[in-house]
Amino acid sequence: MTDPNAIQPSELDQLPDRDPEETAEWQASLDAVAKAAGPHRAAYLMRRTLERAEGTGIALPKLLETDYVNTIPTAAEPAVPGDEAMERRITAWNRWNAAAMVTRGSKYGVGGHIATFASAAWLYETGFNHFFRGKEADGSGDQLYIQGHASPGIYARAFLDGRLNETHLDNFRRESGGNGLPSYPHPRRLPWLWEFPTVSMGLGPLSAIYQARFNRYLTARGIKDVSDSHVWAFLGDGEMDEPESTAALALASREGLDNLTFVINCNLQRLDGPVRANFKIVQELEAQFRGAGWNVVKSLWGSAWDELFRLDTTGALVRRLREVPDAQVQTYQTRDAAYIREDFFGKDPALAQMAKLLSDDKILECFHLSRGGHEARKVYAAYKAAVEFKGAPTVILAQTVKGHTLGEGFASKNANHQMKKLSVDEFKTMRDLLELPISDSQFVDGVVPYGHPGTDSPEVRYLQERRAALGGPAPARRVHPVAPLPAPAEKAFAAFDKGSGSQNVATTMAFVRLVKDLVRDKETGRRWVPIVPDEARTFGMESLFPSLGIYSPKGQTYEPVDRDQLMYYKEAKNGQILNEGITEAGSMADFIAASTAYATHGEAMIPFYIFYSMFGWQRTADQMWQLGDQLGRGFLVGATAGRTTLTGEGLQHADGHSPVIAATNPAALTYDPAFAYEVATIVKDGLRRMYGEAAPGEDQNVFYYLTVYNEPLPQPAKPQGLGVDEGIVKGLYRFNTAESAGLSPVANAPRIQLLGSGTAIHWALQAQKLLAEEWGVAADVWSATSWTELRRDALEADEALLRGEERVPYVRQVLHGAEGPVLAVSDYMRQVPDQIAQWVEQDWSSLGADGFGLSDTREGARRHFGVDAESIVVAALAQLARRGEVKATAVKEAREKYGL
């Protein structure tokens, strides 16, 4: 008996039921179907009803998971244009040469991967033959993010079409001798072929989303119409475990990026074993992408399965496919027909009856070979559906077999990712399977031969004709000859030379003011791309909101709450600012897309990405390596920098090490400017080097990392004299002497050289005064704008010496003859200034903020780390006492005087 006080289902719904009788009729119908035809039939009808509702535009929650079958039925598959037999032969040659390349290289122990391309060959070949647009037609072509472990297959195709030769293939993973091929897609190592680095895994999908988004940004802003460009990202199902792989899915759907397609190679294996041993990765990914608003196309089963699906009149086959875990599917790949009959078909009477109608050969064909990702017709249908779908990005979940066509020793084996070679007998079996005209006599001394049908063969002509029709070779990277950008007006930079007078200005604000002037430049202003992760107000950038606008594909569909204020929050379809929300990884992906637009689209863009310095290199250093690999250009700005400068924020906000991490990146030019005029000088030189007339021998493919501070201090005027600008750019110049500072030291006073960077130079200047007035010591103060650039120059001098060339490091040149010892100080760990110690001829000592940060006032934090002015004085006296230039008792007196 029903409890009259129990809560009824309708009471749990906040929407009132306007017709309870009609609702009851629907529920009764469902109950009747379930009773008469079973729960599976009821579930089927519900699913189809929901799909019908979704297709007609009725607003319902998304159906997140469909049956474990192909999205596009066989009857709805379009015919593949072109010659399918010819494309099979081309793919066979590429499969062979990819495996041969890695196997031949295995004798050198350099590694390589065979199984990935073997599983994904048709995913690439179908795209190259019919979809991927090259760069020699109008526009920019498509952007291809190739799965890193599939690189041998891409090299094999470039060999077939004449872009690579046998010498190149034999130097796979052996680059130092010339004519080598990098292991993975590395533009810096092979800049005419690769556009986008995709290893480390996870960065490719994230970058692809923001590249597609940046394409829309360029078009919306009128820089270049790239609306015909399509971004294709090829990924592994195991790679989707990386947090970055799915971090921006909602952005892609929210902004309707139908110029983007993910192709996920679902071979069900990662590096050590199954991706989801006890579950189904395809279904998991489908739900994840559908939930994020993507269009999902599943291409799971090949044409051999068509007969089985026709025999499935009860739905038993579909149910069984949905319940079998991935690891068991992998096991079927390696077992005989009898095992499959018992374990797969024997679980259901209807399936057991179906199996009686199937030969062993048919069962093995289905379970060993026939996958949606291995048939051009299935892949073509999925790709065509993707490029024709409008309003959202598409993900294609293509099921394959890892190690397909490589033989029983490879296919679906857990260890196949680490297997680097095939035996001669395995190659001969593969040759027969692929029907390649390679004779036994071509295996000389057990070495597998490369295969090529001939430069004028039908296969090569077909391949080249298809690529010509699609706009030229792919993948390909092109840097179109473009005139250097004109230098902005000198006025913008010179404004900082006179200093700030009595006004206190933080270097963060000085940088923002400089950018505000530069974005107004008539020639280059529109090419600036300001990027900020939801901290624009912290950095004083809110004044840019109304003038530049924040990019949004929808514009501003609401009235902002601060509309009546001067600096209101303005979004616009042609907005210039990329305000990404709280995502440093997304902001870096923005930066990479903008910083490489000069190559991707032939349009030089000037990105600057400003962020909490603690949450830049520490959090996204992997993307900085990706940026360097992709030859990106622009300005990374670590704001609120330093371990003691960001008051009160504490350990995880106190950056004392970002310059150390930045110093490890060869493409990063790292600066720690102290004054506003230094910031202006560095940015000016960066614009010249990256976008203007670079000097002979200068690498333009670099990016700048500037640390700027939120501590308002008086900004001095730029010192007059020769060498100041050069010193700022190269990393060191003398800011003043005790005499020029008006401290009038006594004759023959002990002297010391104080080197400071960033905000620390202010403590050094205070110490200079204390040393003169209280201890009779003369100190000269130097601004070290870049410890890292000083070190790199010195390393180059050392390398020159090994070649027999005499070269004096710049740091030694400028400090030569400077009297007394050297004491260096920064707001970072001592390792930062210590980079140059071995090239300094004077006695060396340093101070820094080593250890974890803490919450305190600036003064308290600096005293804690021993980098404040008084601590510098004590350290300076200690150095001089060791040299016998001041009394040893002075050190103790100073320590007691200052309470240290």
Whole-Å CA distances, 407 to 113, 403, 429, 573, 718: 15, 8, 7, 54, 71
Whole-Å CA distances, 772 to 496, 512, 779, 817: 29, 36, 7, 21
Q: Looking at residues 796-814, what average pLDDT do you find?
A: 95
| pLDDT at residue 204 in the model | 97
Weakest-pLDDT range from 19-23, 246-250, 404-408, 709-713: 404-408
Query: Over the chain, what is the mean pLDDT?
Result: 93
Q: Which two tokens stand for residue 870?
A: 């008084």
Between 273 and 173, residue with greater pLDDT: 173
Whether the pLDDT of residue 315 is over 80: the answer is yes
Weakest-pLDDT range from 113-117, 247-251, 258-262: 113-117
Whether the pLDDT of residue 321 is over 90: the answer is yes
Q: What is the DSSP string of 748-763?
A: T--EEEEEE-TTHHHH
Task: Give the tens place of pLDDT for each residue, 136-188.
Answer: 988 899 999 999 999 999 999 999 999 999 999 999 999 988 889 999 999 99
Dist. CA 242–CA 265, nearest whole Å: 15
Residue found under tokens 């730029």: 718
Half-sphere exposure of 70 (CA within 13 A, CB side): 27
Q: Looking at residues 349-377, what average pLDDT do you find?
A: 95
| pLDDT at residue 5 in the model | 46
Dist. CA 807–CA 73, nearest whole Å: 71
Whether the pLDDT of residue 849 is over 80: the answer is yes
Q: Among 373, 71, 395, which Cα is nearest to 212's? A: 395
Q: What is the DSSP string of 765-828?
A: HHHHHHHHHHH--EEEEEE-S-HHHHHHHHHHHHHHHHTT-----HHHHHHTT--S-EEEE-SS
| pLDDT at residue 271 in the model | 81
Q: Looking at residues 544-566, what average pLDDT do you find?
A: 92
Dist. CA 750–CA 821, nearest whole Å: 10
pLDDT band at 417 (very low <50, low <70, confident <90, very high): low
The share of the chain scoring above pLDDT 90, in percent, equals 83
| pLDDT at residue 6 in the model | 43
Weakest-pLDDT range from 255-259, 693-697, 855-859: 693-697
How many other C-beta atoms lie within 10 A of the C-beta of residue 478? 17
Question: Residue 480, class by beta-carbon neighbours within 10 Å (0-12 exposed, 13-18 middle, 19+ buried)?
Answer: exposed
| pLDDT at residue 1 in the model | 39
pLDDT band at 765 (very low <50, low <70, confident <90, very high): very high
Dist. CA 848–CA 619, nearest whole Å: 22
Q: Looking at residues 415-426, what average pLDDT do you find?
A: 76
| pLDDT at residue 788 in the model | 98
pLDDT band at 418 (very low <50, low <70, confident <90, very high): low
Q: Which H or E run includes 874?
A: helix 869-882
CA 93 from centre of chain: 32
Q: Looking at residues 687-702, what average pLDDT do you find?
A: 93
Q: Which two tokens stand for residue 278?
A: 């006890």
| pLDDT at residue 47 in the model | 84
How many other C-beta atoms lie within 10 A of the C-beta of residue 163? 14
pLDDT band at 44 (very low <50, low <70, confident <90, very high): confident
Contacts 24+ apart (CB under 8 A), 310-319: 311/354, 311/357, 312/354, 314/350, 315/40, 315/41, 315/44, 316/348, 316/350, 316/351, 316/354, 317/351, 317/354, 318/67, 318/68, 318/69, 319/40, 319/348
Whether the pLDDT of residue 3 is over 80: the answer is no
Q: Looking at residues 449-455, what average pLDDT do you find?
A: 96
Q: Is 221 helix (H, G, I), strand (E, B) or coil?
A: coil
Whether the pLDDT of residue 75 is over 60: the answer is yes
Task: Give the tens place of pLDDT for each residue, 769-782.
Answer: 999 999 999 999 99
| pLDDT at residue 363 in the model | 96
Which DSSP category does 468 fall into?
A: H
pLDDT band at 310 (very low <50, low <70, confident <90, very high): very high
| pLDDT at residue 616 in the model | 92
Whether the pLDDT of residue 549 is over 70: the answer is yes
| pLDDT at residue 51 in the model | 82
Q: Looking at residues 234-261, what average pLDDT do you find?
A: 97
Task: Give the tens place of pLDDT for each residue, 464-520.
Answer: 999 999 999 999 999 876 679 999 999 999 999 999 998 999 999 999 999 999 999
| pLDDT at residue 412 in the model | 55
Dist. CA 440–CA 866, nearest whole Å: 75
Q: Which two tokens stand for residue 651?
A: 């350990």
Q: Are 396 and 263 in contact, with CB atoms under 8 Å apart?
A: yes
pLDDT band at 786 (very low <50, low <70, confident <90, very high): very high
Residue found under tokens 């399509």: 230
pLDDT band at 414 (very low <50, low <70, confident <90, very high): low
| pLDDT at residue 15 in the model | 58
